[in-house]
Homo-oligomer: A and B are copies of this chain.
Amino acid sequence: MSSAGLDSLDFSKLNGLVTVVVQDHDSGEVLMVAFANEEAVRRTLAERKAYFWSRSRRKLWRKGEESGNEMEVVKVLVDCDGDALLYLVRPKGPACHTGNRTCFFRELEPTDPSAPSGARRPT
């Protein structure tokens, strides 16, 4: 695998942020999606803990700073055009604020999931 520096990141497409995908290093499970500004990326690389930028709170946050569910960052990968990162992590607890191991705990269905099966086209 080749390497890239911070100067390869493109923060221009998302108003100073890059998209971050968080994947469990050991299980391969995708845990969450968040965003990072340059400081969040620098601190992640320096401390090997997952840092993000919270768009709702408009502040830097370290995953687990409140919940205790920190993420040790084993490796950070960058995509071809420099606007997305992949944090490969070892989580200390659930990634999701709901208590689920991953934020992706629901399957998207094309129809209303509350509708009884076969009831879409009543005769």
Contacts and interface: CB of A to CB of B under 8 A. Distances in A.
Contacts of A5: 108-109, 111-114
Given A3-B113, A55-B13, A113-B4, A78 B108 contact: yes
Q: How large is the interface on A (under 10, 10 to 19, 20 to 34, 35 or more residues)?
A: 35 or more
A106 B6 contact: no
Given A78-B104, A79-B106, 7 more contacts: A1-B107, A6-B110, A32-B84, A76-B107, A77-B105, A79-B103, A84-B104
Interface of A: 1-9, 13, 19, 21, 23, 28-30, 32-33, 41-42, 45-46, 55, 75-81, 84-86, 96-98, 100, 103-114
